[in-house]
Structure 1
């Protein structure tokens, strides 16, 4: 059984992050570390955590965002002035990264039970939060994206200590593998390689625990490539 260590738990409510096209941008990406020893986790949120734009953030498949604490050293080496919580994560954890965590993994955290549902897709609000436009392509290219959890069983959760990985399917794709496929440009690949990558994408799409909203983008890319190369 794998155990992960909590490096920090963070929550935040929507506030004005800045302005874009002369309009205020609301976001809850700025989060504060939770000082209380425990808090409540519902199907949608940690107590005190919210999302500003529910059309693209939050929901049952993106209830909790997790980020590996060790990535912060890599970001610092790349010249980014960031610290735990800066990427809007709810949980910073030690002991796992995108290459080891698989879609569908089940975690036990306090009284709660959660499941890995998808990688993160960075947006412009991350650039506003960090003050660096290159953070979005940096996250995509490096694969340091983190991942989301859906809540299978709500409950009281501690803000320090261990999280246990109680179920993992060795045949399921890793978060890193799904992230790579999501940003693959099949049209730019040599046909034989593109065909192999499309088949890999189709295998990933067969993963029942991958969130439908995330798999939709991959499916669209596969369908466009198949139509272009039909016959």
Structure 2
């Protein structure tokens, strides 16, 4: 079992970069002390700057493995706007649809993260979002099945694993590979526990035979 090392939340605030207008973003988060209420829409006091692409019930909570920061030294947990940092849970051993008890809440893995250019602003480097995507170390989101209190020190206790053949690494590879993985797309589109937006993406690829253009998401115009 993994333990919440640090719990992060933060208000949306202007994210600046030389030569670009400020944008509102919730990527800058601060460690939380004590228990925090987790609702169907996320942690109390946590905000997103762009509610069209960030936050909401299918992305109520973002979890990033502390081990993944080895790719980003000397950066430390919390840098990427995640809500939860742990050791022991990674894209290799967390599966889509996993249901966990954490504190008094119950959560379910709903999708992976699709990094965007706000991460580039945050780190002041043009390739940060692309590097995260290419590494496959994106972290994952939860939907909340039962609201409750969570806090640093709480354990993630696995309740159910409905998709034992689908670790997040496999799903992330299916989404971000530049190869045409039609068999993987077809299977992924049928995963009922996967967020509707990701299922729609896989279904659209099956119809078009093409992978969508990621440029606008990964690079700021």
TM-score normalised by L of structure 2: 0.90
Whether contact under 8 Å (2:185, 2:205) holds in the other structure is no
- In terms of Rg, which structure is larger? 1
CA-atom RMSD in angstroms: 1.6
Partner-residue secondary structure (3-state), 2:162: coil
1:73 to 70, 73, 98: 70
Q: Which consecutive residues of structure 2, in runs of 5 or more, have no partner in the other structure?
A: 211-221
Whether contact under 8 Å (1:107, 1:113) holds in the other structure is yes
Deviates more, 1:21-30 or 1:98-107: 21-30
Say whether 1:116 aligns with 2:118. no
Other-structure match for 1:11: 9
Partner-residue secondary structure (3-state), 1:70: helix
Q: Distance in 2 between matches of 1:103 and 1:22?
A: 37
Which residues of 2 match residues 34-113 of structure 1 at below 5 A?
A: 34-35=32-33, 37-76=34-73, 81-113=74-106
Other-structure match for 1:191: none
Q: How many residues end up aligned between the 2 structures?
A: 210
Whether contact under 8 Å (2:103, 2:154) holds in the other structure is no
Whether contact under 8 Å (1:11, 1:32) holds in the other structure is yes
Partner-residue secondary structure (3-state), 2:43: coil
Say whether 1:173 aligns with 2:166. yes
Moved over 6 A (4+): none
Q: Distance in 2 between matches of 1:21 and 1:118?
A: 33
Q: Distance in 2 between matches of 1:90 and 1:15?
A: 16
Other-structure match for 1:157: 150
